[in-house]
Structure 1
Amino acid sequence: MMVIMWFIAVVGLTFAGVRFSGLLDSMLPPGEPEIVRFSPEMPLPAQPNFYLVCGGNRCPPAIRKIDSPVFQVSASQLFSRIEEIAGTMGGKVTLRNAETLHLRIVLRSPVFRFPDWVDLQAVPVEDNTSQLLAYSRSVYGAADLGANKRRLKRVLSRLGEVTQGKVAN
């Protein structure tokens, strides 16, 4: 029994040392995905480790998606709000294109530091209205245990709050 307790203690301390030293980040590199172009022909992974937020005809048919609400703010205003939210997500912005209103973030899971990519883009709908296009996907693993869907629902919820609920019906 004492040997098992020592073994658990050694494994726990080793994991803590590796986890908090930043070594897991270098052991699990995120790579660099291609630029996302939201369209009906957009390629999606075969495994269920992604989730989309789309509006209009801008995304491929997929089971793993949420329809984007129409926000009563311009696309550039929505992009500013997206940037505010991205700053609170705890990830690293790796792409910011003010021309296409596209932002890319790499996030890591809290315990094992698995990387996930999140692309967020504001697109105009009509005068002073816009929608969010978002693609969240895991780099490692065949399934995401619902993490990408929860993440995008939080983003939509926060956008509703920071646009002061200006969502068109």
Structure 2
Amino acid sequence: MINLMHHKDDFNIEACWTFSATGHGKGPCDGIGATVKSSASRSILMSGTIISTVDDFYYFTKKFNDDAAQVNNTNEPPVHVYLLKRDVVECAIKDVLTHRWKQLSGRIKGIRSFHQFDPGNDGIIQCRRTSNSLDIHLFKLKNGDMDEDKRSSLRQVNTLKSIDLKFLIFSL
């Protein structure tokens, strides 16, 4: 959840997380990954393509998608492929993520009962039991210390049921 809170700042793209038990948490990226790996496997079996390193896989996948764009007379490949080298990932973990993850040293209580998560402002996460649920639970991430009794958890701020709507005023 802490990475979801920082997604807009990290990538300049708003994000939400919808957990689907039927997909066991899998999303579109898992399908794209399966398609890319299947294309590589078919090429290995049918044309003798040799892929023995990460770089080989990257260059094969990039060329495969660039060729698909030409066949379809478009400038856009069906899949944009990027290669992140180990040192770049390790640097991001060391410089950004480790500090962020330490803020949430314990488990988040009550998270299993929600399936839709949207980041809000000031460390607030909007949680819903279903993605279209009107009953929104607001939780504030508490940054705990490493002490056992101060482990991070979600603290409920309020729900729509706890707000008296006749006194709710919106300002634009």
TM-score by length of 2: 0.25
Please state which structure has a larger fraction of its residues in strand: 1
Please state which structure has a larger fraction of its residues in helix: 2
**Bigger radius of gyration among the two:** 2
TM-score by length of 1: 0.26
